[in-house]
Amino acid sequence: MSNSAHIGLTFRKMHGAGNDFVVIDSRGRGAVTTAALARALGDRHRGVGFDQLAELRDCDDADLALDFWNSDGTTAGACGNATRCVAWLVMRETGRDAVSIRTERGILHAVKMERRVWVNMGAPITDWRAIPLNAPHDPMALPLPGDPVAVGMGNPHCVFFVPDAEAVPLSIEGPRYEHDPLFPARTNVEFASVIGTDHLRMRVWERGTGVTLACGSGACATAVAAAQRGLTGRRVVMDLDGGRLEADWRDDGVWLTGPVADVFTAVLTPEFLAGI
């Protein structure tokens, strides 16, 4: 952590429907996050705690770039709720109603509509190679108990439709499928049940993190899977453990919206950073 270890490191804590993030703004100085820093910060007892860490960077072909880290020190290709939260921050900072954000997924566009920030998370990935799966299986009919659907949203998702999402033991079923050989890059795991017209109850186990209160890319994947199965239309409201998200699968991609909470800004001490 060289330079940062001598002066401390400012960060922001945010959440979207209980899906919580550490946000580090590295524009103007270059990225500082490492796997070791992500693991140390992600420790809810000895660090700060988060579901994902999002780091802002300068970018030539978009307003900014975003990198995502899981609490186990691995990286993530997409994080819908963190993208929404950062877009909200940048819109507040600039006074603009639209912002472009480069991620591993590509350039994502966020706009303020209906008094909310919506982000286009891109087109769903339905090719088995790109999700990825370990063999040419039909993503709509995976060879797993429970007949789940595989959808890629910049990271892999395995979506189960069940009679009662509340009854699923996430801490048991989540890791079982996250590490199934069918998913060479591991997978996020969602369990959803239909509770009304275009209305789902959804719970999630996130790859590299565990049980979370919400997952934006998971909500997008679940909305796509539900529409593909004919359970809902293409615009879906989802009630998650931490709040309500809405996904709208349009011709240009899957758009996501939901609540944004800016909790606090703080500084990591030089002593903490020096110990990493």
Q: Residue 6 contacts by C-beta under 8 Å, 6 or more apart in sequence?
A: 270
Count CA atoms within 13 Å of residue 226 on its CB side: 32
Answer yes or no: are the C-beta atoms of 234 and 250 closer than 8 Å: yes
- Given 79, 85, 158, 220, the catalytic residue: 79
3-state secondary structure of 59: coil
Q: Is 79 a catalytic residue?
A: yes
User: What DSSP line would sit under 126-144, residue for residue?
Assistant: --TTTTT-SS---TTS-SS
Q: Single out the catalytic residue among 85, 158, 215, 220.
A: 215
Task: Tell me the C-alpha distance between 248 and 225, whole Å.
Answer: 12
Rounded to whole angstroms, the Cα distance separating 147 from 167 reads 17
Q: How many CB atoms lie within 10 A of CB 261?
A: 14
User: What phi and psi values does residue 255 have, to the nearest 5 degrees?
Assistant: -95, 140
Q: Quick check: is 215 catalytic?
A: yes
Q: CA 94, 99, 100: angle at the middle one, nearest 5? A: 140
Is 268 within 8 Å of 11 (Cβ atoms)? yes
SS3 content of the chain, % helix, strand, coil (to 5): 20, 40, 40
Which residues contact residue 219 at a Cβ distance below 8 angstroms, ignoring those fewer than 6 apart?
A: 80, 202, 238, 240, 245, 247, 256, 258
Residues 165, 28: Cα–Cα separation, whole Å: 44
Catalytic site residues? 79, 215
